[in-house]
Amino acid sequence: MTSNVVSITENSKKAQNAIETLQALVADDMAAVNQTILDRMQSQVALIPQLAGHLIASGGKRLRPLLTLASARMLGYEGKRHVDIAAIVEFIHTATLLHDDVVDESDMRRGKETANNVWGNKPSVLVGDFLFSRSFELMVEDGSLKVLKILSSASSIIAEGEVLQLAVIGDLSVDEDTYLQVIEAKTAALFSAACEVAGVIAEAGHEKEAALRAYGANLGIAFQLIDDALDYSAKQATMGKAVGDDFREGKITLPVLLASRRGSDEEMTFWKRCMEEHDQKEEDLTQALALITKHQTIEATVNRARHYGDKAKDALAIFPANEARKALEDIVDFCIERAY
Amino acid sequence: MTSNVVSITENSKKAQNAIETLQALVADDMAAVNQTILDRMQSQVALIPQLAGHLIASGGKRLRPLLTLASARMLGYEGKRHVDIAAIVEFIHTATLLHDDVVDESDMRRGKETANNVWGNKPSVLVGDFLFSRSFELMVEDGSLKVLKILSSASSIIAEGEVLQLAVIGDLSVDEDTYLQVIEAKTAALFSAACEVAGVIAEAGHEKEAALRAYGANLGIAFQLIDDALDYSAKQATMGKAVGDDFREGKITLPVLLASRRGSDEEMTFWKRCMEEHDQKEEDLTQALALITKHQTIEATVNRARHYGDKAKDALAIFPANEARKALEDIVDFCIERAY
């Protein structure tokens, strides 16, 4: 067992290096993206940059725009459009986060108070709308209908996924495929679009665009699976995030879905009370964590994530081996090893 | 005085005829728009068409898409694009209404329970996002970057206006120009865009596009001024809307802004308690209505609206006199005479 722990820690360290390597690889581009974000979230209405800046400056990893920049780099793209496109992707993501935090009634994100907690739900809804509109204004400035099509479609799919997630909240009869449909829509669609648009601006052609789309989609699924595992993991607490948010909201994610399927009738009664009837006592989270451990559903969730991670890496096989491709492959491990 | 009442009633009847004339003029086109709206709000996620349909089928006047259709008709446009463009305008409007009702915590709209009241805030936020994204998908299908630019810019401006409105809520020191800035952004921007895009698809040229933009913007300001007057008018109650919503929310609209300016120090103390400190008793609305009557600020608001209505009509002078132009001129009176 000791050797296993050591190996996980080593993997975890290697994975952590992957995000730093990726950030270093496109550091100049990313500085330009950050500048564009700051410039374009300005408004005469002071509350807009205040509220948007609170979230945007809160030290997120900028994973989605990093994917756009690294994909462009992998393709040898030498133009300037990737900077605006990456900023657009981050604007869409930020708008989504602002609305998510309202919908989830979240207090904390990235170790900081959420905007809805500081300013209330109302400005969070409206500033989200502003950032979303602004992202379309930036797309129009870029001028590519193909980019507009990919990103407007992704936005629609994200919203559909969020509504579906809401519709099945507390519903333990939901099957794994419906759960997958939710995470494909709410998370993987933007990862996928973030990579695909790099192919479009680099004029990489149909096959490469499809490969980038597949890489992003599979990476996004893996990423969300790990996020959902982390919500029940002690690791989460060290990242400034609360453990058990999904449990308290009655969000049926894979660790709970599988635990309820694998458990006894008595355990199902427990899950139904907590998730469907939303009748939770303080000690219930401890019990939920014990059942998740008993049925090893964190491990199962991580294994599912590895499957999608493998598909993501294999999708990159058609690209020439270069530093950026290596960084995109390694970021798959980063997304998965976050679980440890 | 009797003759004045008769004249107002006659004007009111004439104005009511104006909307019916406009609706009849473009009835076929509008039927196509309604079909497009129904088709394109569909989703596998059942809650989306349910919630969107509740608002969309709730018997709104469809004023904004009517403006697009009538503008296209006035220009002699013979293509098909105006149908999708009009549906897009209504989608943006509907998304805005869904978010507005969440932000305003409204219970009723168009004489029906609001979506947020029936389904809660969360799906209203997300379905609003869906409709908004869908509107951009439709624009991309239309394929005109110029249309995309006008409508994405309008969307940004609307969101900015809503945030500004929120930022100045309960602030009696706000001046008339800031109030105007709010209503130009939150209402007039979409009226203006709805008309301008008709000019774009009809390839009417710079001067006519600018005239349509000016017509829509001035009409939108007049429309919102009257809406704000109606909130303090007995007429409102006959339209299935509550009287005094703005008062209860602490929204400083022109009737209150002017009444507080024209009144005594003692009256200002009353307004400050109600609007700034948000300390309202049940009889306060009656007192507010009495002060608004005393200082004739409904009349003043309607007069301001007439000014913008005149500008809107004059903006149409460059177009050939035809049935559609006449209908667009007459709709200005409809928007204003709603006050009576």
Which residues 6+ apart lie within 8 Å of B26 measured at CB? B66, B69, B70, B73, B324
Is A3 among the domain residues?
no
HSE of A121, CA atoms in CB hemisphere, 13 A: 18
- Asked if B159 and A103 come within 8 Å (Cβ–Cβ), the reply is no
Number of domains in chain B: 1
Q: Lowest mean pLDDT: which of A72-76, A202-206, B40-44, B55-59?
A: B55-59
The pLDDT-based confidence of A112 (bands split at 50, 70, 90) is confident
pLDDT at A331: 97
Assigned token pair, B15:
């104005």
Cβ contacts from A onto B, under 8 A: 134
Is A296 among the domain residues?
yes
DSSP B28-91: HHHHHHHHHHHHHT--SSTHHHHHHHHHHTS----HHHHHHHHHHHHTT--SSHHHHHHHHHHH
Distance of alpha carbon A247 from alpha carbon A249, whole angstroms? 5
Nearest beta carbon to residue B43 from set A126, A153, A160: A160
> Which class for A267: exposed (0-12), middle (13-18), buried (19 or more C-beta within 10 A)?
middle
The pLDDT-based confidence of A26 (bands split at 50, 70, 90) is very high
- Nearest C-alpha neighbor of B132 from the set B103, B102, B92, B164: B92
How many other C-beta atoms can be found within 10 angstroms of the C-beta atom of residue B54? Answer: 18
Is B123 among the domain residues?
yes
Is A331 among the domain residues?
yes
Mean pLDDT of chain A: 94
Is B6 among the domain residues?
no
Interface test with B, best of A41, A50, A129 (most B CBs within 10 A): A129
Rounded to 5 degrees, what are φ and ψ at B112?
-125, 160
* Angle ∠(B105,B159,A114) on CA atoms, nearest 5: 70
Is the minimum CB–CB distance between A188 and chain B shorter than 8 Å? no
pLDDT at B106: 85
Pairing of the two strands B112-113 and B108-109? antiparallel
CATH number of the domain where residue A155 is located: 1.10.600.10
pLDDT at B7: 60
Eight-class DSSP state of B263: S
pLDDT along chain B (340 residues), means of 10: 54 86 97 96 96 87 97 98 98 97 86 90 96 98 98 98 96 96 98 98 98 98 97 78 89 98 98 96 96 97 98 98 98 90
DSSP A132-193: HHHHHHHHHHHT-HHHHHHHHHHHHHHHHHHHHHHHTTT-TT--HHHHHHHHIIIIIHHHHH
Assigned token pair, B181:
């800035």
Rounded to 5 degrees, what are φ and ψ at A320?
-60, 140
Eight-class DSSP state of B320: P
Is A19 among the domain residues?
yes
Nearest beta carbon to residue B137 from set A46, A140, A156: A156
Nearest chain A residue to B120 by CA distance is: A103
Is B93 among the domain residues?
yes
> Which range of residues forms the domain containing residue B283?
13-337
Nearest chain A residue to B137 by CA distance is: A152
Question: Residue A123 CA to chain centroid, in angstroms?
Answer: 23
* Angle ∠(B53,B100,A171) on CA atoms, nearest 5: 55
| Measured CA distances, B280 to A120, A122, A257 (Å) | 22, 21, 49
Distance from CA of B120 to the nearest CA of A (A): 10
Eight-class DSSP state of A320: P
The pLDDT-based confidence of A110 (bands split at 50, 70, 90) is confident
Is the minimum CB–CB distance between B237 and chain A shorter than 8 Å? no
Give the dihedral sign, CA A6/A8/A11/A15: negative
Is B7 among the domain residues?
no
Rounded to 5 degrees, what are φ and ψ at A113?
-60, 140
pLDDT at B240: 65
